[in-house]
Amino acid sequence: MSIFENLNPSVSPSPAAQKPAEGSFTFVFQALPESVEEMKALPEASLDTPYKTAALTVCALCAYAAAPEIGKEMLDFLKGPAPLSPMEVSFLNDRFRDGKHIPFSYFAGATPENNYTPSQPFTVSVFSNPYSFQNEGRATLHLNSGGADSPRQIKLRLKPSEGKWYLSEQMIMVGVRTPQNDDPWA
């Protein structure tokens, strides 16, 4: 027996160190969280897969639409050790000037025709593709919007010491088709 065996015992990799499963995962929320405490009480708040973090990002952005300070608290929780920068806050504030419908467009049933009113319970699907996990400890996942023709991305990063996936960058707060109530051509 070597004297060094006890310093770094051989163990199998933790689930967080393993590559996440590829595919599509659907998350169902009976109600959207209205505070960071409510978000932390959800089973998805374990953040042990990038898919859970991505789904909660949609919820946090919906909260931001209703109450920016609460949404910011939620996003800071999802960003872990790297909270929202002033530039990211400015970007979000700019995106919401044209309407609060964009994050709701990622829930099932939300379309321009119904002014992005999601079906209830709130259901969001997050999926990967063959390129989603090219870089170890990082993931680029995708969501479909009822108001866009192509999927949008959310980038996440693993913090190995915690086994949690944190939001790195969201690219879902970009334009979608105008809600019918706001469309002068409808």
Domain boundaries in the chain?
A: 22-172
Angle of helix 68-79 versus helix 86-96 axis, rounded to 10: 130
Q: How far is the C-alpha of 34 from the C-alpha of 38, rounded, in Å?
A: 6
Please tell me the predicted confidence (pLDDT) of residue 14.
41
CB 53 within 8 A of CB 47: yes
Collect the ranges in the chain with pLDDT lower than 50. Answer: 2-6, 8-17
pLDDT in tens, 79-131: 999 999 999 999 999 999 878 999 999 999 999 999 999 999 999 999 999 99
Nearest one of 86, 2, 5, 77 to 46, comparing CA atoms: 77
Of 18, 26, 54, 39, the C-alpha closest to 166 is: 54
* pTM for the structure as a whole: 0.88
Strand order in the sheet with 122-127: 24-29, 122-127, 138-143, 152-159, 164-171
